[in-house]
Structure 1
Amino acid sequence: MTSEATGTGQPSRTLALLWGEPAATGRRKGPARSVDVSQVVEAALLLADEQGLAAVTMRAVAERVGVSAMSVYTYVPGKPELLDLMVDATYHRMPRPTWGGRSWRDRLTLVAESNRELLTTHPWLTEVAALSRPPLGPGVMAKYEHELAAFDDTGLSDPDADAALTYLLGFVQTHCRSAHDAARITTDTAMSDAEWWAANQPLLARVLSPDAYPRALRIGAAAGEAGGSAWNADRAWRFGLARTLDGLAALIRDGG
């Protein structure tokens, strides 16, 4: 997995690009450009969605938009800045339903589910979207404003509302990263979880003694039967989201 993350580029140039300020690349002499920054970002998004984040190189993006490998740097200074633009663009496209008439728990459930949908559609986001240093572009700000509004009337203080949102999104991101890892293992091994357990069951039956591991075998077997595998993404999601909301409920009930 890549160690790349948002917020690692040159801040002034990144922010200028995110908000369409002319200081992003400075003045440029020569003929009019054949493409614009939005086309560069769109090409990078398509590459990431189709082939994964490793496929997003400045050269590959240049080829996708039809410019030279060197000229692409006149649009975006480098890959760190490009990653910020990509993340902000995906956030900008998220649906933003109205919160009126819903309970706080229903609102936060929608926040969680919309972020899960985003990370499922764009798995590469779990590798780069840093909660601690997001690109402060129009997409990030619109998302933040909308999701904070889900905490209206909960009685939480402003710092607690921010912390509660971060806590909720942290659960979503961790869950989706685990789901992606599980899917990747299945793809890489060309073997489903059921096939893996079936193939290894004879050996496991010989080495795993009920006397040595009574709880692990009993509870593990019950969990596997309930979820259809050692780890079931949907079951883990339902359980984890409910417990996350239960924790926030205690905070809200106590008045923050």
Structure 2
Amino acid sequence: MPRTASRSGDPIKLLQLLWAPETKVGRSGTTVAEVLDQAIDLASSEGLDALTMRRLATQVGVGAMTLYGYVPGKPELLELMLDKAIARTYKGHQKPAQISKWPAALRHVATRNYEHALEHSWVVEVPPARPILGPGHLLKYEDELTPLDGIGLDDVAMDQALTHILSVAQHAARWEHAIQQARATSTLTDDQWWYSVESSLYTLLGDVQLPVSNRVGQTLANAGDPSQFLTRSVDTVIADVSRQIETPTA
């Protein structure tokens, strides 16, 4: 299980780095943008645990103390990486604000956030914290809220609908990532793993009766289906929004 990464840091310094990063090239020939690109590449290829300031300095080709001249510490580095990665969610894809029908836009939001999180699986390892007020997050939030604006929801309902979509997409990606990791480190298929523990589990259960969960569990795949969960969850949000539009609260 990956270690929990800290996301505390100097908020004012972080805002300055997010909105007005140093673009001039230092004596090392490196910029903040290049440092972030190297950090994202390292985390994407080897996971968040591999990302240390010392390792990143080696990757960038500068001394550890020089690296701190670009980014004050690991917490600020993570925030900057997240904002830059988030800004790429719709790169090469249609933006939600460009989709005229809000249900289609919400499905697109869910799909892109899910796929993007799997492409950059280190993102799901970062714990939730206060919002990142950088350009990547704020512009993405604007793009994703726009399809819900003017359809009959109040501001709170708009934010809640979008938050629900993003939360289930993140959960589905985290679940799928965990399944992929388990399969990559195991010599057994899902069916083989279940067969290896099934008899011992039923022996230990003894007289414990689980008729409903047994039936449901046998209906589902052994490891579950994150993408199907995401689809059903998005359908639920869309149905809920439709009801709110049709029967607005007095």
Q: TM-score range by the shorter chain?
A: 0.7 to 0.9
- 5 Å matches for 1:51-200? 51-95=46-90, 96-97=94-95, 99-100=97-98, 102-128=100-126, 130=128, 133-200=130-197
Q: Deviations along 1:151-185, whole A, 9 cap, x unmatched? A: 12321112321222112211211222222222222
The residue type paired with residue 126 of structure 2 is V
Q: Report the Cα offset of residue 69 of structure 1.
A: 1.1
Q: Distance in 1 between matches of 2:29 and 2:199?
A: 63
Q: Which residue of 2 aligns with 1:34?
A: 29
Give 1:82 shift.
0.6
Q: 1:5 touches 1:127 (CA, 8 Å); kept in 2? A: no
Residue identity matched to 2:78: L
Mapping of 1:209-220 within 5 angstroms?
Answer: 212-220=209-217
Which stretch shows the higher mean deviation, 175-184 or 245-254? Answer: 245-254
Instruction: Provide the C-alpha distance between the structure 2 equivalents of 1:122 and 1:218, rounded to a whole number of angstroms.
Output: 35
Pick from 218, 228, 232: which aligns with 1:221? 218
In structure 1, the gaps of 5 or more residues are: 25-30
Residue 4 of structure 1: aligned partner: 5
What is the deviation of 1:231?
A: 1.2
Q: Which amino acid aligns with 2:116?
A: L
Q: Return the letter of the residue paired with 1:219.
A: V
Counterpart for residue 44 of structure 2? 49
User: Any idea what SS the aligned residue of 1:124 has?
Assistant: helix
Q: Provide the rounded CA distance (Å) in 2 between the counterparts of 1:234 and 1:98.
A: 20
2:245 maps to what in 1? 252
Q: 1:99 to 1:140 in 2, by over 3 A?
A: closer
Q: Deviations over 1:26-45 (max 9, x none)?
A: xxxxx734201011101100
Shift in CA distance, 252/123, structure 1 to aligned 2, threshold 3 Å: farther
For the residues of structure 2 that align with 1:76 and 1:211, how far apart are their CA atoms? Answer: 56
Task: Tell me by how many angstroms 1:63 deviates.
Answer: 0.7
The runs of at least 4 consecutive aligned structure 1 residues that moved more than 6 Å come to none
Q: Tell me if structure 2 keeps the 8 A contact 1:210–1:217.
A: no
2:112 maps to a residue whose letter is S
In the alignment, residue 45 of structure 1 is paired with which amino acid?
I
- CA shift for structure 1 position 230: 4.3
Structure 2, unpaired ranges of 5+: none
Equivalent AA in structure 2 for residue 57 of structure 1: T
- The separation in 1 between residues aligned to 2:225 and 2:118, in whole angstroms, is 15
SS at match of 2:148: coil
**Would the aligned equivalents of 1:88 and 1:138 in 2 still touch at CA under 8 Å?**
yes
Give the alignment's TM-score, normalised by structure 2: 0.87
Letter in 2 for 1:217: N
Deviation at 1:204, TM superposition (A): 4.0
Question: Counterparts of 1:241 and 1:77 in 2: how far apart (Å)?
Answer: 39
SS of aligned partner of 1:39: helix
Question: Which letter does structure 2 place at the counterpart of 1:220?
Answer: G
Instruction: Indicate the RMSD between aligned Cα atoms, in angstroms.
Output: 2.5
Which residue of structure 2 aligns with residue 28 of structure 1? Answer: none
Q: Is the 8 A contact 1:58 1:72 kept in 2?
A: yes
Letter in 2 for 1:20: A
- What is the percent sequence identity of the aligned residues? 33
Change (3 A) 1:50 1:109: same
